[in-house]
Structure 1
Amino acid sequence: MSSSEQEVRSLTSRVPVRRYGPPPLSPSAHPRWLESMLESTRRDWDAACWPPLFRDTAEGRRPPLVYWRRVLSQFFLIVESFPKYMALSLAKTTYGRAEGDASIRRWLLQNLAVEARHAEWFIDWVRALGLEPEALFHVRPLPELQALHAHLRDTCARGTLAEGIAASNWAIEGITGVWTRDVVEPFRAYAADGARIDASAMMWLKAHARYDDLHPVEALEILKLCTDPTGDEPARVLDATRKSLRLYTSAIRACCVD
C-alpha cells in the first residue's frame, strides 16, 4: 500500500459514523381534524384545568387544606398508575414499520423514565400535608376516581395508540401542566396552616409546572402521526379526550364535597 493510500485510509477511519436515531417530535401545523378536536374540547379542558380548588388556590384564597388532602389521597391511584397507562401504549409501537413509529416509541420510553420518581415525589407532598404513606396506600378510591382510572387503563389497553395518548398524555398531562404552573407558588401559603413547605414537599408540583408544557405539545404531534384521518379514528380520539377531561373534573369535585 502506497503512503497516499495509507493517508486516505487513516483520514477515512477518523470520520465519525452518524448514529441512527428517529427524528424528534417537532411542532408542526395542525390538520383540520385536530383543530376541530381542540375547539370541541375547549370548554371541557378549561373546566378540568380550573375546578374551584385549583382556581381558588392559584388566586391566593387558600381553600381548607382538608380538600387538598382528599384530592391527593384519592389521586394517588392515578399518579401511581400513570406509567402503567403509558406502558400499555408503548406495547402498541414497533420500530419504523409505520411513519413516526420509532419516534413515538422513543418518546414514550423517555417519558416513562421521567415518571420513575413521580410517585415518590407525590408521597413526599402528601406527607408534608400530614398524611402518612401507609394511610395513602389503603385509601378506597371514590367511584369517580375508579371511573377515571378504568377509562385510562382500558383506553390505553384496548383503544388505538392515538386514543390512549389522547386520553392520558394529552388530556391528563396537559391539564396538569396548566394548573400546576399557577398553583405552585401560591401553595406555599399553606405553611400558615401547618403544612411543611420545603424542597421535597414541592418537588412534584415544581416538576410538573416545569416540563408539562412541552409534553402535551409532543403528544399532539403523536396524534398527528398515528391517527388515520380518513376513517372514524378522529371521532374516537375526540371521545377519549373528552371523557378523560370530564371524568377528571368529576373526580376533583367529588373530593371537595363536604
Structure 2
Amino acid sequence: MSTDFIRSGELKDIKSYPEWLQGVVADCEEQKSVALGHPFCRAMKDATLDIESTHRFLAGFFPVIEQFPQFMASNLMKARFGTSRGETMARSYLIQNIRVENMHAKHWLQWASASGLTMHEVLNKEVPSEMHALAHWCGHVSVIDDLAVAMAATNYAVEGATGEFSCMVCSEDTYALTFPEPIRKSAMRWLHVHAHYDDEHPWMALDIIATLLGTNPSPESITRVRNAIRKSYDYLRMTLDYAHREPAKKEVATRANSWLQVSSTPETV
C-alpha cells in the first residue's frame, strides 16, 4: 500500500493532512500558545510596551530576520529538482520565498528607525544569548537536519508564529497610531506584510513536510519534527522573555550590578 501523500483538501484545513501530522501540530499547541500569548505581544498590540522593551526586541530579533534567507538557502541545498515530488515542491517554495524575504530586513530597519533606533544601533548592538538563541537554532537545524525537520522548525513554526503575531498587532490600529502619519506606512510595513504573507506560507510548508514524509513515517521522524517545532516556539518565547523584562526585575538587576561594582572596588586603607 502506498504511503505517498498528495493533499486533496483545503490548504489551510488541518484535516487535509495525515493523522500523524495533525497529532504533531496538536502536541505543539501549548508551546505555541505560550509564545503568542506572551505579555509582550499583548503590550505591543495595546501600545503599552515600554520603549526599552521595544528596542531590545527590534535589535535582538534582527538576526533572525536578516539571516532567514540564509536558513532557507541551506534548506534549498537539500532539495533537488525531480528527485521526489516533495523535494520539487520544496525547491520551488524556497526559491520564491527567498526572493520575497529579500526586502524584509529593510522593512524591519524602517520599523526600528520609526521606533527610535538607528540602523547602526540595530546592526551593532550587542545581542544577548537569550535573544540570539532562536537565530542559532534556525541556523543549526537548517544545516544539520533533514529537509522536512528543518522546514518544520523554520518555515512552519517561525514563519507561522511571526505571521500570527503580526495579525494580532495589526488587528487594531492602536499600535499603528503611535507613529506619526507621514512615517506610519513604512513603520508598519513589516507587520502588514507578514500579517498577509505568512497567512498561507506556513500551511504550504506543512504541505511540503507531509509530502516529503508521507502518510506513515517512522516514529523517529515524527519525533524529530515535533521536537523541532517545539524548540522553535520555546526559543521564540525565550526571546520575548528577555525583551519584556518586568520593571521590578530590571530594578533588581540594576541594584545587583551596582552592588557588584561597589563590592569589587578595592578598599582604601
Instruction: Return the TM-score normalized by structure 2.
Output: 0.81
Check if 1:96 corresponds to 2:64. no
Q: How far apart are residue 198 of structure 1 and its match?
A: 1.8
Check if 1:139 corresponds to 2:152. no
Aligned positions of 1:59-208 closer than 5 A: 60=46, 62-184=48-170, 185-191=173-179, 197-208=183-194
Unaligned runs of 5+ in 1: 1-22
Q: Deviations over 1:164-201 (max 9, x none)?
A: 1011111110011111112123312323xx89742211
Unaligned runs of 5+ in 2: 1-6, 251-269
2:235 is aligned to 247
- On the 8 A contact 1:162/1:226 being kept in 2, the answer is yes
d(CA) in 2 for partners of 1:196, 1:182: 23
d(CA) in 1 for partners of 2:86, 2:217: 18
Q: How far apart are residue 134 of structure 1 and its match?
A: 0.7
Q: Deviations over 1:49-97 (max 9, x none)?
A: 2211111332x25221221111011001110010010111111000111
2:20 is aligned to 33
Amino acid corresponding to residue 209 of structure 1 in structure 2 = A
**CA gap 1:65/1:197 in 2 versus in 1, 3 angstroms:** farther
d(CA) in 2 for partners of 1:156, 1:195: 40
Q: How far apart are residue 146 of structure 1 and its match?
A: 2.4
SS of 1:186's equivalent in the other structure is coil
Q: How far apart are residue 227 of structure 1 and its match?
A: 2.2
Query: Between Structure 1 and Structure 2, how many residues are aligned?
Result: 232
- One of 194, 202, 222 as aligned partner of 2:208: 222
Q: Deviations over 1:95-139 (max 9, x none)?
A: 111123212101110011100000011001000011110111112
Q: How far apart are residue 46 of structure 1 and its match?
A: 1.1
Check if 1:256 corresponds to 2:244. yes
- On the 8 A contact 1:56/1:62 being kept in 2, the answer is yes
d(CA) in 1 for partners of 2:147, 2:190: 27
**CA gap 1:181/1:45 in 2 versus in 1, 3 angstroms:** same
Instruction: Return the TM-score normalized by structure 1.
Output: 0.84
- On the 8 A contact 2:60/2:132 being kept in 1, the answer is no
d(CA) in 2 for partners of 1:195, 1:168: 34
Q: How far apart are residue 26 of structure 1 and its match?
A: 6.9
RMSD between aligned alpha carbons?
Answer: 2.0
Residue identity over aligned pairs, in percent, reads 29
Q: Deviations over 1:185-232 (max 9, x none)?
A: 3312323xx897422111111100111111011011011011264321
1:238 is aligned to 226
1:4 is aligned to none
Larger Rg: 1
1:15 is aligned to none
1:49 is aligned to 36
Q: Deviations over 1:215-252 (max 9, x none)?
A: 01101101101126432111101111100100110111
